[in-house]
Amino acid sequence: MTFLDSAVWGGKFCSDGWRHSPARQPVTEPATGDRLGTVGVATAEDVDRAAARAAETQRAWAATSPQRRAAVLRRAGELFTEHAAEIEDWLVREAGSVRSKAGFETGLAIGECFECAALPAHPQGEVLTSEDARWSLARRRPAGVVGVIAPFNFPLVLGLRSVAPALALGNAVLLKPDPRTAVSGGVVIARIFEEAGLPAGVLHLLPGDGAVGRAVVEAPEVRVVSFTGSTPVGRAIGERAGRLLKRAHLELGGNNALVVLPGADVARAASAGAFGSYLHQGQICMTTGRHIVHESLVDEYTAALAAKADALRVGDPAREDVALGPLIDRGQLERVHCIVTDSVAAGAKLAAGGEIDGAGYRATVLTGLTTDMPAWREEIFGPVAPVVSFSTTEEAARIVNDCEYGLSVGILGDVGTAMRLADRIDSGKVHINEQTVSDEPNAPFGGVKASGTGSRFGGPAANVEAFTETQWLTVRPDIADYPF
């Protein structure tokens, strides 16, 4: 039996053990439409039971020694390493990842577990001064039960980056993966922590649709909701959590800009731009969605980018050596094509691509855009690179900031000019002489404006802030005297 053998999870969800479900959904390969298996679907009632059980087990888990919690996280990292090949196969077949992206994502998961293994040993508060004759402490305590709702595009790491720190800090977790990636974004995580020695009932895997997600948010035991996904859904979750007086950590969409400064190496810049726009078919919140190129380089850059786009093969990454795999489903494929064709109808010009290719989409370059065209204003979530020009750094800053999102920006060229430009940009992340797609387990991750509620992932400071509460604790040598 393999580590992810369907005999363990087929037709089931995980809540205090693997449970058969009368409701089931197919696990589908987007490149072919083939069925890879079947997972059990949870109901709102299942969520309620899981939340109650998680609240029971969380107290014992929080009371477990920091060394024991750290050992579980380290073992999880070791298991990801041992089973990397099998996990990568699932990311390729279920999520449509090309092989290099699947390896990158699995590597991030390994790093996340080892990084979070250090969290239990980090300082959990501070000593405060007090005007009275007492000790005064601010200590961090686990939030309790954390609800994690994860997307399809990087399904493993975008769920794990909340699950791992939440568990390390003593919380219980309800995990709802995207239905389209319930194995690579759900079953994998549940199996890893099961084998790593996490006590039963601390982590619950609850696949399902929006009704299951709403139940996770609304369960009274859930005190923190961590959501990664689209801005419209994130707004709805934030509103619901706000009414329930719960914290919601929202990592949402992006329409990220790559600025190419005068004098930049065009060949290297086009390579960076192609990677930023076409990695994982552009289905990344950090994807380079806007190429803003100095007028002295724009023609040369566009030609170089188009040449790279034309050279990228589209196909089935499980069976071919391709640069671009399928989009996650037919609906997303048609949406991308509609954005491109609507923009062309409005006057944009195709320099490359613009065609559906089986279950995928050709790497596309668009020029001649105006700021009201959908390919410029919207988060496309497909392999499309719109290009416009600028003449001054002031204009570049204005174009970058003229966007509802603020997640990631790349600036290519002279470092001094880039530094001055970076100071004028509204973005959660800025990368000088790199493209927009970058992530490390120890680095803060998050956006501003419609991209979310800031950095609530990555590194000890963000993780402790995200998944613990502050309690003020005072201690006196004797009972105080009071005037009553």
Secondary structure, 3-state, 249-317: EEECCCCEEEEECCCCCHHHHHHHHHHHHHHHHHCCCCCEEEEEEECCCHHHHHHHHHHHHHHCCECCC
The pLDDT, as a whole number, for residue 356 is 98
Rounded Cα distance, 398 and 373, in Å: 17
What global pTM score does this model have? 0.96
Residue 181 is given by DSSP the state: G
Q: Are residues 183 and 318 in the same domain?
A: no
Residue 442 is given by DSSP the state: T
Q: What is the CA radius of gyration of the chain?
A: 24
DSSP secondary structure string for all residues of 107-141: HHHHHHHHHHHTGGGS--EEEE--SSSSEEEEEEE
The pLDDT, as a whole number, for residue 457 is 87
In tens digits, the chain (484 residues) has pLDDT values of: 799 999 999 999 999 999 999 999 999 999 999 999 999 999 999 999 999 999 999 999 999 999 999 999 999 999 999 999 999 999 999 999 999 999 999 999 999 999 999 999 999 999 999 988 899 999 999 999 999 999 999 999 999 999 999 999 999 999 999 999 999 999 999 999 999 999 999 999 999 999 999 999 999 999 999 999 999 999 999 999 999 999 999 999 999 999 999 999 999 999 999 999 999 999 999 999 999 999 999 999 999 999 999 999 999 999 999 999 999 999 999 999 999 999 999 999 999 999 999 999 999 999 999 999 999 999 999 999 999 999 999 999 999 999 999 999 999 999 999 999 999 999 999 999 999 999 999 999 999 999 999 877 888 999 999 999 999 999 999 999 999 9
Q: Are residues 232 and 182 in the same domain?
A: yes
251 is catalytic: yes
Report whether 160 contacts 109 (CB < 8 A).
Answer: yes
Q: Are residues 229 and 274 in the same domain?
A: no
Split into its structural domains, the chain has a count of 2
Distance of CA 176 to the CA centre of its chain: 14
3-state SS class at 47: helix
Q: Which of 221, 251, 379, 403 is catalytic?
A: 251
Q: Are residues 245 and 271 in the same domain?
A: no
Rounded Cα distance, 127 and 147, in Å: 31
Distance of CA 245 to the CA centre of its chain: 24
The CA-atom distances, in angstroms, between 395 and each of 301, 448, 450, 463 are 19, 21, 22, 36
Tokens of 300: 């040369």
The pLDDT, as a whole number, for residue 195 is 98
The pLDDT, as a whole number, for residue 131 is 87
Structure-token match 């934030």, residue found: 238
Residue 350 falls inside a structural domain = yes
Report whether 15 contacts 53 (CB < 8 A).
Answer: yes
**14 bridge partner residues:** 18, 205
Tokens of 305: 């980018």
The pLDDT, as a whole number, for residue 91 is 98
285 is catalytic: yes
Rounded Cα distance, 352 and 356, in Å: 12
Q: Which domain holds residue 233?
A: 6-252+452-473
The pLDDT, as a whole number, for residue 454 is 87
Torsion, Cα of 333, 334, 339, 340 (10° steps): 70
Residue 323 falls inside a structural domain = yes
Q: Are residues 377 and 400 in the same domain?
A: yes
The pLDDT, as a whole number, for residue 287 is 98
Phi/psi for 142 (5° steps) reads -55, 145
Tell me the pairing of strands 125-128 and 222-228: unpaired
The pLDDT, as a whole number, for residue 432 is 98
Cβ neighbours of residue 41 closer than 8 Å, sequence gap 6 or more = 13, 21, 23, 24, 25, 207, 208, 209, 212
Q: Are residues 150 and 218 in the same domain?
A: yes
Q: Which CATH number belongs to the domain containing residue 464 in this structure?
A: 3.40.605.10
Q: Which of 113, 116, 285, 403 is catalytic?
A: 285
Q: Are residues 184 and 283 in the same domain?
A: no
The pLDDT, as a whole number, for residue 46 is 98
Residue 26 falls inside a structural domain = yes
Q: Are residues 292 and 200 in the same domain?
A: no
Q: Are residues 333 and 301 in the same domain?
A: yes
Rounded Cα distance, 237 and 218, in Å: 10
Q: Are residues 463 and 375 in the same domain?
A: no
Q: Are residues 326 and 235 in the same domain?
A: no
Residue 484 falls inside a structural domain = no
Q: Which CATH number belongs to the domain containing residue 418 in this structure?
A: 3.40.309.10
Residue 159 falls inside a structural domain = yes
- Decide: residue 35, CB within 10 A, 0-12 exposed, 13-18 middle, 19+ buried: exposed
Residue 243 falls inside a structural domain = yes
